[in-house]
Structure 1
Amino acid sequence: MKVAIFASGNGTNFEALADSQELKNAGLEIEVLVCDQPNAKVLAKAKQRNIPTFVNRIKDYSDRHAYEQAIVEKLAPLKIEYILLAGYMKVVTSTLLSAYPNKIINIHPSLLPKYSGLESIQRAFDAGESETGVTIHYIDSGVDTGPIIRQATVPILKNDTAETLEARVHATEHQIYPEVVLELLKK
């Protein structure tokens, strides 16, 4: 299965996917990393793994449609079957959605529908929740509203700080995202 991974930051979920021997053995081919931040750490991680990158900044385009159309044009010759969002901090709109219907998957650090959008872990922690988690879902035209594929709960412990909670949420992400992608590969 040929995929593009989209990321904006450190790239820990990118690493979890790219370094999974089980995914490689099952046929995962990461054709390109698409990144909207030219200084993101994930770019170096892709380079270390000999994965091509495409840096595409929205400010270089007249509007979001033109920005996403450039991505569609980049991906078309690569025969991408799925787009895996891994910390991609842009809302996906109709241009990409129509080019890849039901083929864009996101990972979000909360138990959606709770705490959609940004700063999900911090907001759950500040609210005094007893648990939070991770959701993997298909992208639709809303923000973090698409059909849920899988969720995993992460308890918020009495001695947690926002940082320790975040570390446990990320560890859960790194475990379940490759598992979900593996399930897709087996279909």
Structure 2
Amino acid sequence: MTDRQSSPRRIVVLISGNGSNLQALIDAQARNTFPGNIVAVISNRPGAFGLERAQKVGIDAITLDHKEYDSRESFDQALQAGIDAYRPDLVVLAGFMRILTPEFVRHYQGKMLNIHPSLLPKYQGLHTHKRALEAGDTKHGVTVHFVTEELDGGPNIVQAEVPVLHGDTPETLATRVQLQEHLIYPEAVRWYCEERLTMENNSALLDGQKLPSSGIVISNAES
């Protein structure tokens, strides 16, 4: 291996709000769960609490307010420049509430991950917990996937399922799903940092084996 290959993977995390998944990654890094370092956290919203989480542990915390740009393209160009200044091996979207331009996505093809609170391909977009309840689903969950130009449509890496319980509200369901988010996102980042996880021909591969369309599915019957 070269020095770059043997050194910890450099990770940039993009957020828009509270940053609970960012905190899960920070905690995992502190436990040496994966051979990677979060070198910067960037938020498109000033005052996002996730920035405080980063600052607390000495990670560069940057605000790039999308409202200061006159187009999605100009914002994404500035964001790309800000990310690339840190020479990242991996870009992690952790509650980053922006639809990304195709050019931006292609620039990070195969090295950008997202987490989405549904069992993709179900419920791309917003209000996933409410939609699952309205549909009468018996199970719901969360997916980590590679980012492609299709919104919430890149190849799945891992999913965690939780049962939908009698009397669930979007809030109670979201709470249980979020517990699983904090478990599976650091795991997917670990696989990537260990060079076990790749994307080829619009498919996710783990240890050289193509994953099924759902990714690895973890069922949590009691959650």
* Alignment TM-score > 0.5, same fold: yes
2:49 aligned with 1:33: no
The more displaced of 107-116 and 72-81 is 72-81
SS of aligned partner of 2:41: strand
The more displaced of 121-130 and 134-143 is 121-130
> Given that residues 28 and 34 in structure 2 are in contact (C-alpha distance below 8 angstroms), is that contact kept between their aligned partners in structure 1?
no
After superposition, the C-alpha distances for 1:115-155 in whole angstroms (9 at most, x for unaligned) are: 11011112112222111111111111111111111111111
Root-mean-square deviation over aligned CA pairs: 1.5
* Corresponding residue of 2:73: 65
Which protein shows a greater Rg? 2
| In 2, Cα distance between equivalents of 1:84 and 1:66 | 21
| In 2, Cα distance between equivalents of 1:139 and 1:84 | 10
* Corresponding residue of 2:103: 95
2:152 aligned with 1:144: yes
Number of residues of Structure 1 aligned to a counterpart in Structure 2? 187
After superposition, the C-alpha distances for 1:62-83 in whole angstroms (9 at most, x for unaligned) are: 2111111111111223111111
> Given that residues 51 and 62 in structure 2 are in contact (C-alpha distance below 8 angstroms), is that contact kept between their aligned partners in structure 1?
no
2:77 aligned with 1:74: no
- Which residue of 35, 46, 60 maps to 2:54? 46
| In 2, Cα distance between equivalents of 1:27 and 1:172 | 21
> Given that residues 3 and 32 in structure 1 are in contact (C-alpha distance below 8 angstroms), is that contact kept between their aligned partners in structure 2?
yes
Which structure is higher in strand share? 2
> Given that residues 17 and 23 in structure 1 are in contact (C-alpha distance below 8 angstroms), is that contact kept between their aligned partners in structure 2?
no
After superposition, the C-alpha distances for 1:83-105 in whole angstroms (9 at most, x for unaligned) are: 10111110122232132111111
Unaligned runs of 5+ in 2: 1-8, 196-223
Question: Counterpart amino acid of 1:52?
Answer: D
Which structure is higher in helix share? 1
Unaligned runs of 5+ in 1: none
> Given that residues 11 and 88 in structure 2 are in contact (C-alpha distance below 8 angstroms), is that contact kept between their aligned partners in structure 1?
yes
> Structure 1 135/25 Cα, relative in aligned 2: closer, same or farther at 3 Å?
closer
2:103 aligned with 1:113: no
TM-score, structure 1 length as denominator? 0.94
* Corresponding residue of 1:19: 27
The more displaced of 133-142 and 118-127 is 118-127
Question: Counterpart amino acid of 1:146?
Answer: G
| In 1, Cα distance between equivalents of 2:83 and 2:101 | 16
Listed as ranges, the matches of 1:105-184 within 5 Å are: 105-184=113-192
